[in-house]
Amino acid sequence: MFKYPCPPRFLRALTGRGPAAVLTATLLGLTAAGAAWSATPTAAPASSTLRTCSVSDLYLSMGRKEGAAGSLYWPIRFTNTSTTGCALRGYPGVSALDTAHRQTGPATTRSGRSYGTVVLAPAHTASAVVRTTNGPVGGPCLGTGTYLRIYPPASRTATLVPAPWTICSGVFQVGPVNVQGAF
């Protein structure tokens, strides 16, 4: 059974205003209904039934370093190695460590970018990008770390990833986990 996209009480309110008003209201209702039908559902409802990815679900690795506009960017890759989907939301915790596993400077600060929930199907990957300056631009560089200690979002367990990283000019930031590779 076809239902009007406009409620009958709304159509009754247009009675006496001419067929053009009724037709316009109906077309606007159809347009709004079409937009609702074609809208892509957000990941939030699906992720609310998924569990949060734990360290045991993930393989962490580093992508390719890239430099741009005086900054050095390096993606941290989170790959789901479990047999079921899981979700990540927010920022990872990251710090640089030396060969003796001592922290070589401050932990990352957050980039401030907005984020959503990332649903990772088995064998799929998302990333979070870390950033520092590309050399001493406004301050000295610290000693080069050997590892990055990474806490996935919402985790209290870290993973050590071999990654030579030098924090320069007091800048050490991380972006949220996302699938676009954005900082």
* Average pLDDT, integer, range 99-107: 95
Residue 120 lies in a domain: yes
> Residue 133 belongs to a domain with what CATH number?
2.60.40
The tens digit of pLDDT for each residue in 6-25 reads 444 333 444 455 544 444 44
pLDDT at 75: 98
**Location of structure tokens 């998924």:** 50
**Does 165 lie in the same domain as 121?**
yes
- Tell how strand 71-80 and strand 86-89 pair up: unpaired
Q: Are 130 and 168 in contact (CB under 8 A)?
A: no
Query: Is 124 strand, coil or helix?
Result: coil
**Does 72 lie in the same domain as 14?**
no
Q: How many angstroms separate the CA atoms of 92 and 62, rounded?
A: 14
The tens digit of pLDDT for each residue in 123-167 reads 999 999 999 998 888 789 999 999 999 999 999 999 999 999 999
Residue 183 lies in a domain: no
For residue 141, the enclosing domain spans: 55-174
Q: How many domains does the chain have?
A: 2
Distance linking the first and last C-alpha atoms of the chain: 49
Residue 1 lies in a domain: no
Cβ neighbours, 10 Å, residue 26: 16
**Does 13 lie in the same domain as 87?**
no
Residue 123 lies in a domain: yes
Residue 155 lies in a domain: yes
Q: Are 162 and 120 in contact (CB under 8 A)?
A: no
**Does 168 lie in the same domain as 80?**
yes
Q: Burial of 148 by CB count in 10 Å (0-12 exposed, 13-18 middle, 19+ buried)?
A: buried
**Does 66 lie in the same domain as 27?**
no
Q: How many angstroms separate the CA atoms of 100 and 97, rounded?
A: 8
**Does 84 lie in the same domain as 13?**
no
